[in-house]
Amino acid sequence: MEIIAVIPARFASTRLPGKPLLSETGRPLIQHVVEAARRAKSLHRIIVATDHPRIADVVAGFGGESMMTRADHATGTDRVAEVAARIEQAGIIVNVQGDEPEIAGSTIDRLVSLLESDRDAPMATLATPIRDPAV
C-alpha cells in the first residue's frame, strides 16, 4: 500500500498571487513544504498538485515531483482529490497544505498511523486546540 502526500499549490491565489514561489528565505515556500514532508518516515511519495507550469518547473528544479491539475478548482482539497483519482496504487493520501512549511514529519507519521490502525476511517484531519482567547 502506497502512502502519498499531495501538496496543493495554486499560483493564482486571490490573496497572495504566486505564494508557492515566494523565496523570502532564499528557497521557495513550496520547497520548504516538500522538505518538511520528506521528514515523515511513513511517506512513499510526495506530489505537488499544481495548476501552473512555473510551480511545476520550480518543483522539478529541486528534485520534487509534481502533477498538473485543472485551474478551476475551488479549493486545495479539490486539487488533491484530482491527483488522488489518478493514482491507482494509493492506499493513504495525506493532504499537506502548500503554505505549511513547519509541519513536523512526526505529525504526518502520527496521522498515517491512525489511518493505518483504523481501516474503516475514510479520512482524518489534524487539529490543535486554540487556547488563546484573543483568537
* DSSP code, position 21: G
Query: Does 14 have pLDDT greater than 90?
Result: no
Q: Please give the pLDDT value at position 115.
A: 92
Q: Is residue 128 part of a domain?
A: no
Tell me the pLDDT tens digit for each residue of 40-95: 999 999 999 999 999 999 999 999 999 999 999 999 999 999 999 999 877 899 99
Q: Please give the pLDDT value at position 99.
A: 94
Q: How far apart, in whole angstroms, are the C-alpha atoms of residue 30 and residue 8?
A: 9
Q: Is residue 131 part of a domain?
A: no
Nearest to 123 by CA among 89, 88, 87, 80: 80
Mean pLDDT rounded to a whole number for the chain: 93
Task: Provide the CATH number for the domain around residue 86.
Answer: 3.90.550.10
Q: Is residue 123 part of a domain?
A: no
Q: How confident is the model at residue 13 (pLDDT cuts 50, 70, 90)?
A: confident
- Into how many domains does the chain fold? 1
Q: How far apart, in whole angstroms, are the C-alpha atoms of residue 120 and residue 132?
A: 34
Q: Is residue 125 part of a domain?
A: no
121 vs 5, residue with greater confidence: 5
Q: Please give the pLDDT value at position 66.
A: 99
Nearest to 98 by CA among 4, 11, 2, 23: 11
Give me the mean pLDDT over the 22-37 stretch: 97
Q: Is residue 126 part of a domain?
A: no
**Chain centroid to CA 28:** 15
Q: Which domain, by its residues, includes 106? A: 2-117
